Structure 1
Amino acid sequence: MWFDPKCPWAWNASRWLLEVERVRPVRTRFHVMSLWLLNKDRENLEDWYRTWLTDTLGPVRVCIAAEQQYGPEVLRDLYTALGDRIHHERMAIGPQLYRSALSALGLAEDLAGAADTDAGDAALLDSHRAGLDPVGEDLGTPAIHIDGAAFFGPVVTPVPRGEAAGRLYDGMALMASTPGFYELKRGNRTSPRVD
């Protein structure tokens, strides 16, 4: 799964996948993508969304720095630590948030400084492209790859729990195994309720 820590839809999809792990023999691998990077050259963004994107680059840079120092498995817990603070505690995105999340996991707090440097941007771009190129750049997060098939989504609220989570995964796995399947979409979505 490819995530941007600020995206509430990615947060819900990640909580769904962790729930799937409880009811199916699945292990989620987390990877970083960037909504800022995805949208930086787009001219027709709504003003509210352009404003919303302004603080999204820092968290992904911190995630990339942590991954470079500790390996990819660190992203599972770091994403949860950042996401809890962003989506539940409503902490402002910035140095205090990064240090709090890093400290809670026993990770080097100086990684918070990565938010303000482009030192890991090449690795960020590689991760971003690995997640989104197979899906299509006009889409975003969450991006999920299952058995070689890549999808945008699921965009879901509230987070399915228990067997409902497993059934949704079963459906996605079935779609992933269907040659030539590309898209399933439903409009009129509500605002995300983060779980």
Structure 2
Amino acid sequence: MTFTRSLLIAIAAMFLMLTGCRRNSPEADFWQWFQKNEASLFDFERDQRAVFDRLSAEMHKVDPSLTFEFGPKQGGQREFVISADGVRAAFPRVVSLASSAPPLPRWKIIKFRPRREPADIQFHGVTVKAQSVSVEIHPDGEKAALTVLIPGYSASQRQTFGGIAFLFLDQALGEFDVETHVGNVDVRAPLPDDSNAIPLEALPRAFDAAVLKR
């Protein structure tokens, strides 16, 4: 087949047009935006609401379920936590977004909400102290089922206490383990014969031991 000069020029022009129109991935676009706005993000306290609104909007371009947390400034760095907000379908986006981050010396990028020392929770008008909560661990196939024992639990506020229980588990075990290694979760008031219950602060080690046995 013989190509004329004009045809070759047309093919080359079409190739350049197609490659020139090729878009970055949503992850790449996000990190470009992040780098442009790094100063305001690092010092977000100066205009927290506006900064958080813009950041949320940019993360939702990657996936509507994505959310974030910032850690305090420590040694000239901040933690930037990328979370799926407990939505399993968005877990791959958390991984791809975190993995595609460029070098950012002032930031520590963390996939999923990490384990933290449990703190008291106030939710829908109910306050529960972390030290008052205990947990039972039960086999549940490849996972571990949990019964969260909360003093003052009321069946009439089942949804509120259920939300509090998951917030405590999220603190103690981290987002990834709660969504991937926790099976059924029950919530109730403690009983005198709950001899197998352990304090919430002891849950991470006991949970890891239970899951690793499977």
Give the shorter-chain TM-score range: under 0.3
TM value normalised by structure 2: 0.25
Q: Which has the higher contact order (CA 8 A, sep 6+)?
A: 1
Would you tell me which structure has more strand in proportion to its own residues? 2
Rg: which structure is higher?
A: 2
TM value normalised by structure 1: 0.27
